Amino acid sequence: MPSAFDVPMEQELHSKLKIQDTASDAGGVQRSKSFAFRAPQESFSIQDFELGKLYGVGSYSKVVRARKKDTGAIYALKIMDKKFITKENKTAYVKLERIVLDQLDHPGIVRLFFTFQDTFSLYMALESCEGGELFDQITRKGQLSENDARFYAAEVVDALEYIHGMGLIHRDIKPENLLFTADGHIKIADFGSVKPTHDSKITVLPNASASDDKACTFVGTAAYVPPEVLNSSPATIGNDLWALGCTLYQMLSGTSPFKDASEWLIFQRIIARDLKFPDYFSDEARDLIDKLLDVDPSRRPGAGADGYASLKSHAFFAGVNWQDLRNQTPPKLVPVSGSQSPEGEYERDVWNPSHIGDGFTSPADVNGGSTSSSESPGHITRIASIDSFDSKWQQFLEPGESVIMISNVKKIRRLANKKVQLILTNKPKLIYVDPSKLMLQGDITWSDDPSELSVQVVSPSHFKIHTPKKVVSFEDAKQRATQWKKAVETLQNRLK
């Protein structure tokens, strides 16, 4: 079977430009066999660029600061691994992102300038937002003032209104994907998870629309995923409004509202709407976030019959001049301490050209949290581990069984400690496996009764699992004893 990249992606798209008819699919999305790209495909080589610092890593891409040697122009160069895209069936996502970015035109959205490719990689030259991520500003400041948060939230609302008005759902709004220009204005980035609605104004080429409404997996980042997505409901603009509420909460508090030790625990908090507000939140901020985090997506401000009017007129945004946002002076950015000039980045040679193009290797998957990721269209599992789940452990699971938490730990014994892989599943089941021989070493009889099965935290790295018949001691080098206790107790409560 020929590869999807036997014909270069851009050539495949451009080969259709002479066919002029258009058609709508069953959902009404305009699918065109003809349109001219605003951002052209160029015949550039990666050797035409000097590469600087790495901005972020995604499931099949890296984004690096790049300077065009002949013009000196600076770009955020998104470098995508063709082999991984083909293997993981992500071609439709890549095509859709490229086509969508080409047609969006708003000061609050990163611009695509041009594309090119080589044997192993696809490249998108995007607008470089020199101010960095909102996530970094929150981290440096600890939390933002309400005035600063109001300004940034207003700029995000302004851009989201445009995106939703174009009939698109972003599906990965989070502080890591909200970037600052050099003068401090916000732009939304990373359209790798974008979804056209049935009335989308975006023209989509045939076979360039990623459709996953009926899939058993979903896209997004755990801390910002709304409850309806966890229940496998189709995507709506309400998904982005929930993520906006989570982001505003994080701006004001310094942490996401449903933060927990693992994705599975985060999901449980989201489903239960386990939401607590700090005392210092104003009544207006509390009320807006509370409404944006409504379990009914249709009731979230911006999603109702009156559209964005209810969101923009909320008391939290009192005094915001919506017609002149981009001409206002934004809050002052806090720079990275001890950072060097952009020019110094190239002198340090922090990015070796041999890492890309013909020598580009597939990056590790990254999703969520404090790790910067400028591209996150990879699916996240309904019940996810605190570590990446290696497929070699799958043999110890039954069909349909999922991992809740997994760690490489030391099983503490009288004579000698032994390294094992400790696995907690949703069956529920607690087992430990010899990681070198891939043999089951033992299981801990599960009970929903805490008096029959409990976890005792001895220290951050040392915990004991108690049952009526035995006590098993473990040492976790990553100091997640408390997370193990919480994961077990949460599962016990859920199953009662």
Residues noted as catalytic: 172
Half-sphere exposure of 123 (CA within 13 A, CB side): 29
The three-state secondary structure class of 59 is coil
- For 33-89, the three-class secondary structure string (H helix, E strand, C coil) is CCCCCCCCECCCCHHHEEEEEEEEECCCEEEEEEEECCCCCEEEEEEEEHHHHHHCC
Helix (H) or strand (E) holding 188: strand 186-188
Structure tokens given for 301:
């401000």
Beta-bridge mates of residue 439: 434
When computed from its CA atoms, the radius of gyration of the chain, rounded to whole angstroms, is 24
Q: Where does residue 387 fall: left (phi above 0), alpha (psi -120 to 50 degrees), or beta otherwise?
A: beta
The three-state secondary structure class of 67 is strand
Please state, in angstroms and rounded to a whole number, the distance separating the CA atoms of residues 302 and 310.
Answer: 6
User: Which residue, chain included where needed, has tokens 């996810």?
Assistant: 384
Tell me 215's DSSP state: -
394 CB contacts (<8 Å, ≥6 apart)? none
